[in-house]
Chain A
Amino acid sequence: MKKHIFNKTKWSIAALLLLSINSVFAQSSTSSALFESHDIGLFLLVLLVLLPIAGFFIYTSLSIKKKSTQLIQQKFSSQGIKAEKYLTDLDLEQVRALLGKKNNETHSLKSSGLLTVILLFVSQFSFGQSDVQPATRESLMTQPGVLITLVLLFIPLLVGFILLVTKLNAMLTKMRTKNLMQEAETLAEMLDNGEVMQDYTELERREKALSYNLNNDELAGKEAPSDEKGLLKNVKSEHDMNFFAQKTKPMPRPKIDPNLTKLILAFIGSAIFWLVLGTSIGEYVGIKFIAPDADSLSWLSFGRLRPVHTNLVFWGWASLGMLGLGYYVVPMVGNGPLASLKMGWYSLFFINLSHVLGTISLMAGVNNGGGEYREYIWPIMSLFAAGLVLSMINYLKTIALRKTKEIYISNWYITSSVIFLPIIAVVSYLPFWQNGIGETILQGFYMHQAVGLWFMFFCLGLLYYFLPQQLNKPIFSYSLGVLAFWTQILFYTLIGTHHFVFSSLPWWLQTVAIVGSVGMLIPVTSGTINFLMTFKGSWNKVSNSYSLPFFVVGVIYYFTGSFQGTAEAFRSTNLIWHFTDFTIAHSHITMYGIITFIIFAGIYAIVPRLTGQEPPQLMVGAHFWFALIGLQFYTIPLMIGGTFKGLSWAEGKPFIDSVVLMAPYWLWRAIGGSMMWISHLILAYNFYKMMFPKKEFDVKEEAFKILQQKTNFSQN
């Protein structure tokens, strides 16, 4: 079985390895020849665009070849039609038609010479096409401007070619149908003449067999049905107005411990609280880009609020949300109980406490001194770490108590990440290696490992549980999951320094980080293939579910966001995008598009199961679309503006020009941010609805209650 799975995935992995090795080599040649600016990032992007196009070419030429061979074969065999092959498996009417015929006559077929001309043309084209490919690939390695021009020239050619191929395809199909039609006519004539049929007795017997029918009363008898079990009459026939597509209700799960339910809901509730607070602050900070004089209070100044926003959404919302979902998934996939509820509550308490104190201290101007996401001073961060360690011990003990033999892949990811983060935090806060640029080296390590080996790793673990659960089928390939697990640890650990390309950090360390970033294509592609192949065949379920759309967005952004990260890591792309708002767009694509969407999905997947209450369907839809469209308005303008900003710097224009040119993009960012923020308010409302449903007044129920009371009264 395992071998089979490997065979299935072998080719995709091989292609991946090839791609990444190629890029690694290309990259190392850049670093040795420092003055040449090969645009590897651009190259990679163009390659990504070209690959599906090449795939389309191969597909169409194959299908055309197939059709033309069919035509040739047809041409040769049409001289002597084997009528017998058509005369098996006849239905009743055909049998009757045959039985009614007696006469004989013969006919032959003709074929056109035009066919050979077309075939020649087609084969010519498939050769011509393979000539185009290498020529394009070679010119990719030259100047970006030339490259873009070539691509632009290539597009109309491509469109023309596609049109031609489609026309040709249609023509071939038409010709083939014509030939088949002729064959059918011949056959009909042969049958009409009775040239084929010698013996009609067999056909007569067949007619009898085919026309036999049951009278439908054999089992039920002739009496009318009665509904003694109340199966038919007790169906609720009234429905609400269907303005929106009805989503299927989640399948009831085996009841989990109500105390565990409380713990999970407390984690998720806290997470949503920090999300609303953190993004309200983020929203305000975003507005300050357009209205810098919105207030003049030190506690609300941009410099102090920015880290409050990032820390609350990172360590408050995403971390608590993931841990809460983890408290559901970790015992569930091991079929065992949770080791300790108490430890879970302490963990939640310490983490929440760290955010209350951290937020106050940051707003008061007490911070750790610069490093992003490392702004909490160590006494506050150690509260956070203590909370994490408690959850880590809890998860490990839960896994030790599991009833299954193997450890399901979700628990590999989830538990490893919860072991890694305390190590990362402790190593990055210890003072022994922080002097001079030691601090910066650890900063790069810290901020990126927190992203890749905590948020991303944990969320992948959640995906490996929730996707199969929601789609009701096993994950496509366990082996791909294992491959992604080890390669992600291997490559992700290396890439921290890519935030400091061209800085005073050792050049070799920057190169290692860039190479690691390219290596990340392996786990990302294998993960994406795994998730998409799990979806394959079940896409219809997406439209019926309200958590699956969130998962789909998460998976798509997992692919695009991670590939974008790789493209950004190259030296050539750092020249344009480093220090600009492009980075901010990227961090929102990943932390929001991937992590946050997966947590949203997880919340909608389990909370209705835990509380037994559905969120209002319309509001889930509103949440989804506000978040998704808001994210587009947020990220796309920032990417465009960030690129212009970088180009303006490269041209040596005055700095203030780059501030002025960003103004419209910052405005769009604020609009997108507001939409995302609204979606969080909706989430909070939905969560409230799932926790405390409003009871509708039910006349029937109340009437029977009163009746019950009356009977009790009269009995007494």
Chain B
Amino acid sequence: MDIFNDHKKLFTASVVLFSILMIFVAIFPAIENQTNNAPLPDSKPLTDDEMAGKLVYISEGCVGCHSQQVRNVDMDKTWGSRPNIAADYAGITRTSFLQNTATLMGTERTGPDLTNIGVRQPSLDWHLLHLFNPRAVVQQSIMPAHPWLFDFKEKPNDGDIIVNVPAEFLQGKTGKVVASERVLQLVTYLQSLKQVKLPDGTPDPEFLYKKEKKAAEGGAGEAEGLDGAALYAANCQSCHQQNGEGLKGAFPPLKGSKIVLDENPEIMLSIIMQGYNAREEYGVMPAVGTNNKLTPEEITAIMNHERTSWGNTGRKVTTDEIKKLMETLKKPAQ
């Protein structure tokens, strides 16, 4: 055949085949998606500070380990309340003259997904300490420390945000650890990462491959099927630590805590569900229960774990009790 012996025909043919396919699977779907998707009505564009924070996120290569996509499979429920849809990314355009659009969806999850981190972990204090050295808050973490985003000052100025770093993580340096502007912007960006509600009447897309429900769960009132320690690890441990002792100057201990050991679980429940910011010496507690959509059964399991671990000898609570209390908590809010 002629095509075998004529380089012009041969290479034209292969390029034409390739280009047609390329238009079909890359260019055409990309153009179609960018023209037919608009940002959700409730979404807000990034503020200048948040945008600056996003640039830090890009510059430090966070996307290498952290994805920003909740897939529509059941195991991704941990990372957001609904699967991401194309509209979630529709507002993202070219970053700068030199830099391409950054949806930062990622292809690896060496670290947790950050789609909804602004809801899951809104605490500034936690993020600053975690960025200074992740092992200060999560002992087993392998995330790189980012000390270059902080300054060491002997005499901090007024308005400087001081991070209370445990001495072992200071690596012999002296002075107060002060958060730089860049790290504050980065945390602002992280706090802005929240899943936006779909407009009224639009149902959330479903999570696929649901786990089969365990048949015959434990008796009524007792959440025997749930592992309180695992739930504690997933929801509370990053601040209050595995040993329940918290971190001095950042997160209060639960071990021996009056609130935890209280016969009446009402205050403890309200803190879990609504957050807490009453004590100067500690960081702000987010409304973990509400943010993470914990069920009464899960909360019971967590509370019982906290009330009976690390030498705590509190009374075990029942699911029924918690359910009732949760209803009374909701009433004044409405």
Chain A residues with CB under 8 Å of chain B are 34-35, 37, 288-289, 292-293, 296-298, 301-304, 306-307, 365-372, 374, 377-379, 396, 399-400, 405-407, 412, 415-416, 419-420, 423-424, 427, 429, 431-442, 445, 449, 453, 485-486, 489-490, 493-494, 496-497, 499-500, 502-506, 509, 512-513, 575, 578-581, 583-584, 649-650, 652-657, 659-660
B315 interface residue, CB < 8 Å from A?
A: no
A439 near B103 (CB under 8 angstroms)? yes
Query: Is B290 interfacial (CB-CB < 8 Å)?
Result: no
Measured in the bound complex, the distance between the Cα atoms of B147 and A298 in whole Å is 8
Please name the 7 residue pairs, one residue from A and one from B, whose CB atoms are nearest each other, closest first: A303-B61, A369-B102, A438-B30, A579-B109, A502-B71, A365-B59, A493-B21
Q: Nearest Cβ in chain B — how far from A131, in angstroms?
A: 34
Contact (Cβ within 8 A) B148 A489: no
Chain B interface size, under 10 / 10 to 19 / 20 to 34 / 35 or more: 35 or more
A650-B75 in contact (CB<8A): yes
A370 vs B58: C-alpha distance in the bound complex, in angstroms?
Answer: 7
**Which of A304, A365, A441, A584 touches B29 (beta carbons < 8 Å)?**
A441
Residue B245 at the A interface, CB < 8 A?
Answer: no
Of A306, A399, A437, the residue contacting B64 (CB under 8 A) is A306
A396 to B12 Cα, complex, angstroms: 12
Segment of B155-163, B204-212, B274-282, B321-329 engaged in the interface with chain A: B204-212
CA distance A298 to B182 in the complex (A): 13
16 contacts between A and B (CB under 8 A): A292-B144, A293-B133, A302-B61, A302-B65, A369-B101, A372-B107, A407-B5, A438-B30, A438-B33, A440-B105, A489-B18, A490-B21, A504-B89, A654-B230, A657-B233, A659-B140
* B34 pairs with A433, CB closer than 8 A: yes
Against A, the Cβ 8 Å flags (1 = close, 0 = not) of B63-89 are 111010101110110100001111011
Tell me if B146 counts as interface (CB < 8 A to partner A): yes
A493 contacts across to B, CB distance below 8 A:
18, 21-22, 25
Structural contact, A34 and B208, CB atoms closer than 8 A: yes
Residues of chain B with a CB closer than 8 A to A301's CB: 60-61, 144, 146
By the criterion CB–CB under 8 Å, are A35 and B61 in contact?
Answer: no
* Interface pick from B91-99, B246-254, B300-308: B91-99
A415 to B110 Cα, complex, angstroms: 38
A421 CB → nearest B CB, Å: 11
B22 closest partner in A (C-beta): A493
**Interface contacts beyond A292-B145, A441-B30, A575-B75: sample of 4 additional A-B pairs, CB < 8 Å, sorted by A:** A303-B60, A369-B104, A427-B26, A656-B140
User: Using Cβ atoms and an 8 Å threshold, which residues of chain B touch A439?
Assistant: 30, 92, 100-103
Nearest CB of A to B122, in Å: 18
Q: Which of A35, A289, A405, A656 contacts B208 (CB 8 A)?
A: A35
Contacts of B208 in A (CB 8 A): 34-35, 502
State whether A445 touches B18 (Cβ < 8 A). no
Judge if B19 is at the interface, Cβ distance under 8 Å: yes
**Residue-wise interface mask of B (105-147) relative to A, using a CB-CB cutoff of 8 A (1 in contact, 0 not):** 1111110100000000000000000000111001011111111
Chain A residues near B107 (CB-CB < 8 A)? 372, 499-500, 579, 583
Tell me the residues in window 1-60 of chain B with beta carbons closer than 8 Å to chain A beta carbons.
Answer: 4-5, 7, 10-11, 14-15, 17-19, 21-22, 25-27, 29-31, 33-34, 37, 58-60
Contact status B98-A437, CB under 8 Å = no
B58 with A503: CB separation less than 8 A: no
Q: Say yes or no: is B234 at the interface (Cβ < 8 Å to chain A).
A: yes
Whole-angstrom distance between the alpha carbons of A652 and B73 in the complex?
A: 12
Is there contact, CB below 8 Å, between B148 and A297?
yes
Partner of A496, one of B5, B26, B84, B144: B26
Q: Check A374 against B145 for contact (C-beta < 8 Å).
A: no
Contacts A436-B37, A503-B105, A659-B142 known; A296 to B171 CB distance under 8 Å? yes
Q: How far is the CB of B95 from chain A (nearest CB, A)?
A: 5
Residue B62 interfacial (CB < 8 Å): yes
Q: Which residues of A contact B268 (CB under 8 A)?
A: none
A369 — which chain B residues lie within 8 A by C-beta? 58, 95, 99-102, 104
- Alpha-carbon separation in the docked complex, A453 to B58 (Å): 28
Contacts of B91 in A (CB 8 A): 436
